[in-house]
Amino acid sequence: MTTRAQMLSNFLKAIAKEELKDSSLVQCGKDLENIFFISENENYRISYSDVYQLICLIDSGQLQEYSNDVLISNIQRIKSNYTPKKADVSKSIEKLADHINLDVSRLNYTKKIIHYGDDSAISKTNSLETKVREIKSKHQRMENEYKNMQNQYITILGIFASVILAFVGGMTFSTSVFNNIADASIYKLVAMAIIVGWIFFLLIWTLLFYIMTLTKNESHKRFFMLLFLIVNLIFIFGSAILILLKFADK
């Protein structure tokens, strides 16, 4: 035996499928009278949980041929055009229409909140991921810079140590040369001084120029290149004069 709840569910499905024709509105009113009317003093009490369950099923797409918008439109038209026949169930129809409107509105609002919450959560997650990537990138860059600074410090200390050793070695060699000044001619002495000075200058210049390359100081690099050219020209000019004086004595 079909219960009134099943009858109401079937009725709602029927009016949720497509827009009703005006000619069918009267029959729908009669159908609702058969569902709601029990006696003169009693009407069927609607199971609102069953109505809400049906609305949710339609909204979820499980009942693809039905629509909540069509359901709302039809129930409103039935309520507006209802004329009692064998019994007056207008209050029950009005409650049913109001409840359907309320449930559909509440469901749509809940969906909007959930959708907004999902979008907000996704946005915050993406923002956090971006910040994490930035922090990791900065950390990696700082770590690389720290390693490069360590290497540069070690290199610079090694170069300065080499400069000191070169200076001490050059001074020692020069001292030994000047100690034997009495045994050598003036030309040999000057030639030896030019060679020692030139080698000593090249060694120190190379080490200091390498430091400028590490520090990426372009202005100092240009100065060192100019200094290199000037000093080399002086050594070449001095060597040329020495050779000319040597041949002139002969």
Task: Tell me what pLDDT residue 215 has.
Answer: 64
Look at residue 1 in the predicted model and tell me its pLDDT: 39
Region for 47 from its dihedrals, namely left if φ exceeds 0, alpha if ψ lies in -120 to 50, beta otherwise: beta
Single pTM value for the model: 0.46
Q: In the chain, helix, strand, coil percent, each to 5?
A: 85, 0, 15
pLDDT at residue number 162: 67
Q: What per-residue confidence (pLDDT) applies to 40?
A: 76
Q: Tens-digit pLDDT profile for the chain (250 aa)?
A: 358 888 888 888 888 888 888 888 888 888 888 888 887 777 888 887 888 888 888 888 777 788 888 888 888 998 888 888 888 888 888 888 888 888 888 888 887 777 665 556 566 667 777 777 787 788 788 877 777 777 667 666 766 776 676 667 666 666 665 666 555 566 666 677 777 777 777 777 777 777 667 666 666 667 777 777 887 787 777 777 767 766 666 5
- Residue 183 is predicted with a pLDDT of 59
Q: In this structure, what are the phi and psi dihedrals at residue 46, rounded to the nearest 5 degrees? A: -70, 135
99 touches 46 (CB < 8 A): yes
Judge whether 4 and 44 are in contact, CB under 8 Å. Answer: yes
